């Protein structure tokens, strides 16, 4: 399954969405810049923002991810 590239957001845009999600216990969908061996984007990381430290964001049920590795963040509408 292909995961099309989403718009590259600024660190500021992503930070606003992530901090709002953390403050309100909301889920987010994060596309990271990491690609598989075929050059395709990996599936989005989806989860509730449960914490952060320095540039790392922690999602429930996921490994931590650096905001510097993120490409696009969406609020978890309908998740």
> Residue 74 is encoded by which pair of tokens?
């969406």
Sign of the dihedral defined by the CA atoms of residues 38, 41, 44, 50, in that order:
positive
- The predicted-structure confidence for 15-31, as pLDDT tens digits, reads as follows 999 999 999 999 999 99
- The predicted-structure confidence for 37-79, as pLDDT tens digits, reads as follows 999 999 999 999 999 999 999 999 988 999 999 999 999 765 4
Q: How far apart are CA 69 and CA 11, in angstroms?
A: 10
């Amino acid at each position: 399954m292909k995961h099309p590239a989403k718009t590259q957001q600024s660190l500021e845009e992503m930070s606003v969405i992530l901090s709002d999600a953390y403050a309100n216990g909301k889920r987010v969908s994060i596309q990271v810049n990491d690609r598989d061996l075929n050059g395709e984007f990996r599936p989005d990381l989806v989860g509730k923002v449960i914490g952060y430290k320095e540039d790392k964001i922690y999602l429930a049920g996921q490994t931590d991810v650096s905001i510097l590795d993120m490409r696009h963040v969406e609020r978890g509408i309908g998740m």
